[in-house]
Amino acid sequence: MDKINALDAFAALSQPTRLDVFRLLIKAGEQGMSAGDISGTLGVRQNTMSANLGILNRAGLIRSDREGRSIRYFADMAGLHGLLAFLMQDCCGGRPELCQPIIKELACAC
């Protein structure tokens, strides 16, 4: 991920509803969620949700799959990986042991 893509991702996540959507989709995992379920869970009107989902999609943080007349959304883990790698690429000035506490905290204990 380059700086421009990282800035797009940060801009997308800088709005409270979009941050909530992204975190909700990370929790949903491989099952994902329909747009209606996301709207209902977060109490956001569907047209507002649609705009927010579009912004997250363009930022590379979520992806979607059409299922008949509905669309299921998923956190794009490759996009998340790219953003985290961008943040950590110069971590600790060549002393990886300093980064280990952060890496351990980020590791999923699922």
Inform me whether the pLDDT recorded for 5 exceeds 90.
Answer: yes
CA distance 64 to 57: 8
Q: Which two tokens stand for residue 44?
A: 């956001």
Number of neighbours of residue 25 by Cβ within 10 angstroms: 22
Question: Domains along the chain?
Answer: 3-106 (1.10.10.10)
Averaged pLDDT, 85-108: 79
Question: What is the model's pLDDT at position 8?
Answer: 97
In this predicted model, what pLDDT tens digit does every residue of 9-64 receive, in sequence order? 999 999 999 999 999 999 999 999 999 999 999 999 999 999 999 999 999 999 99
Inform me whether the pLDDT recorded for 109 exceeds 80.
Answer: no
Averaged pLDDT, 84-98: 80
pTM, full prediction = 0.86
CA distance 106 to 57: 23
